[in-house]
Amino acid sequence: MLRRLMLLGVAGLVLVAGVASAQGAETDRFKGDWKVVELVEDGKTIPEEVISEWLPSGGRFTISDNAIEFTDHTTGKKQVKLFSVDETQSPKGIDFQTRDKERETWGIYRFDGDQIVLCLAHPEDSERPTTFSAKAGSKHMLMTLERTSGKKVAAKPTPAGPKSTSAASPEGPRYLTDAEATKAVTGTWRLTDAMGVLIATLRPDGTFSNVREVTELRLFQKTLVQTPVSTGTWTVKNGQILFHVLSTTQIDRLNHKYAFTLRSFSDTDMIYVDPFGQIGRAIRVK
């Protein structure tokens, strides 16, 4: 839900530039290339280093005329969205519509030096935001765009996940040594915990990233949305995967370490014991 706001917001914010002929010199300030540098959703701050991993075109957009251009992350095709602004309001208002002119969501915007700040309401909210804030429970999204000197920047490609390095055992899952486990668990895994579905990517360089997966309306169509949760480093020692959280949307977990005890592994899944003593199962995604 909130991620939808961000995506609509990015699209809409840049789209504000489009009505230059109708709204004067101010709209000219929107024209060009922009990137998202700050993002807060319903009280949660998304770390800047992971923004590029989950926004269209790596969080970079182009404003031209009355439209924002971006690349659809699911198809690789370029997309265009429309908008309208109301400079008579205070703060200035912005609405996002479908091609049939039906409103999708609305919000407010302002210029801050060489940046644009945007605050969007939930699409089902009947009231437009009145302040630039996204406190917990508000369902608002607060985003800051920064100009990229008018130069287009290519979208950051998503690195391909590593292939499995272990062959399936005819006897099913087997226990692993530390060396085997390090090779075996490198990749992307899908698991379900107390908070829902979690996608964990463990990279060969010893870094990891976790995202939550939910179904939402993204760019005006239902799709699976992956919301960043945390990043950090990982290693295997004494049969345990040790995670060190270096950035996270859950502040109480920042700089904490968590140990997951490996029980068994196959080419398709692994069995583990989480830090709370619960047995879990993760499915290999890639």
Percent of the chain with pLDDT over 70: 70
Domain boundary among 125, 147, 169: 147
Instruction: List, as one string, the DSSP characters of 87-124.
Output: TTSSSEEEEEE-TT--EEEEEEEEEETTEEEEEE--TT
**227 plus 128 within the same structural domain:** no
Q: What is the mean pLDDT of residues 200-223?
A: 75
Q: Let me know if residue 158 belongs to a domain.
A: no
6 in Cβ contact with 55 (< 8 Å): yes
Most confident of 30-39, 73-82, 146-155: 30-39
What is this structure's pTM?
0.48
**10 plus 116 within the same structural domain:** yes
Q: Let me know if residue 21 belongs to a domain.
A: yes
In this prediction, residue 100 carries a pLDDT of: 63
Q: What is the mean pLDDT of residues 62-66?
A: 74
**71 plus 186 within the same structural domain:** no
Residue 120: which residues within 8 A CB-CB, separation 6 or more? 5, 6, 8, 9, 12, 105, 106, 107, 129, 140, 141, 143
Domain, as residue range, for 222 = 178-284
**130 plus 210 within the same structural domain:** no
**19 plus 114 within the same structural domain:** yes
**8 plus 139 within the same structural domain:** yes
**123 plus 201 within the same structural domain:** no
Read off the pLDDT band of 228 (50, 70, 90). Answer: confident
Read off the pLDDT band of 15 (50, 70, 90). Answer: very low
Instruction: List, as one string, the DSSP characters of 37-54.
Output: EEEEETTEEPPHHHHTTT
Q: What is the mean pLDDT of residues 186-207?
A: 89
Encode pLDDT of 104-162 as tens digits. 788 999 999 889 999 988 887 889 999 999 998 898 989 999 998 654 433 333 333 22
**Which residue has better confidence, 129 or 224?**
129
pLDDT at 54 over 80: no
pLDDT at 206 over 50: yes
**103 plus 238 within the same structural domain:** no
Q: Let me know if residue 162 belongs to a domain.
A: no
In this prediction, residue 201 carries a pLDDT of: 93
